[in-house]
Amino acid sequence: MFKRLYDWTLSLANRPGATWALALVAFAESSFFPIPPDVMLAPMALARPRKAWFYAFVCTVASVLGALVGYAIGYLLFDSLGQWVINFYGMQDGVAKFRESYAEYGHWIILLKGLTPIPFKLVTIMSGFAEYNLLWFVALCIVTRGLRFALVAGAMQLFAEPIRRLMDRHAGVIGFAIVFFIIAGFAAAKFLV
């Protein structure tokens, strides 16, 4: 199953709308969508290594724009839509603790959680809820998301052939590992927030 999904994603990289689809996923993931853009970025960068840095740039810009939507949800709509998202992810008990920690550690929370598999939308929504400084929020999002996507693009560009051989042989195992890390990110968010 994962091998077919991998092959399909590789074939998408050559389609004209692939970059727009990548941008849409990166945008949505920062505010409400559960799947990280890395699952599209990595195969697309692998299929077209010369465009890896461009794809990382697209992901970064779209992710930061999506982060602004997440921030707005937390800032303007926390009592309605923001609360629904928090309830959806089962994070009700951690809201007060998270808000207190933002007063002292907001910059580290944004930087560190933006690099991990912990859902970034939780960080963006809670940043708005905590009324974190918007300019600092944008700057930190650019740094953390840019670094995350640059690491993926750089790995795909530098190690394209070994990664391609590995994926061709073990796509199923790698697919299950990706799913595991996504689920682990959601689980970790529940305990770390």
What pLDDT band is residue 2 in, cutting at 50, 70 and 90?
low
The pLDDT assigned to 22 comes to: 92
| pLDDT tens for each residue of 74-124 | 899 877 776 777 777 777 777 777 677 787 888 888 888 888 777 888 889
Minimal CA–CA distance to 26: which of 70, 61, 51? 61
The pLDDT assigned to 190 comes to: 54
pLDDT at 175 over 80: no
The pLDDT assigned to 193 comes to: 46
pLDDT at 20 over 80: yes
pLDDT at 5 over 70: no
* Whole-number Å distance between alpha carbons of 59 and 13: 14
The pLDDT assigned to 43 comes to: 83
Query: In the predicted model, what is the mean pLDDT of residues 59-65?
Result: 97
Taken as a whole, the chain contains a residue count of 193
Calculate the alpha carbon distances from 154 to 50, 118, 158 in Å.
10, 21, 6
Cα 96 off chain centre by: 24
- The secondary element (H helix, E strand) that includes residue 158 is helix 134-158
| Residue of 174 and 106 predicted with greater confidence | 106
pLDDT at 50 over 80: yes
What pLDDT band is residue 17 in, cutting at 50, 70 and 90?
confident
Q: How many domains does the chain have?
A: 1
pTM, entire model: 0.76
The pLDDT assigned to 45 comes to: 87
Domain extent at residue 55: 2-192
Lookup result for tokens 């779209």: 62
Query: In the predicted model, what is the mean pLDDT of residues 65-72?
Result: 95
Minimal CA–CA distance to 43: which of 178, 145, 146, 144? 178
Lookup result for tokens 């009324």: 131
Query: In the predicted model, what is the mean pLDDT of residues 123-131?
Result: 88
Helix then strand count (H, E) for the chain reads 9, 0
| pLDDT tens for each residue of 132-145 | 999 999 999 999 99
Instruction: Provide the mean pLDDT of the chain.
Output: 81
- Using left for φ > 0, alpha for ψ between -120 and 50, and beta otherwise, residue 36 falls in beta
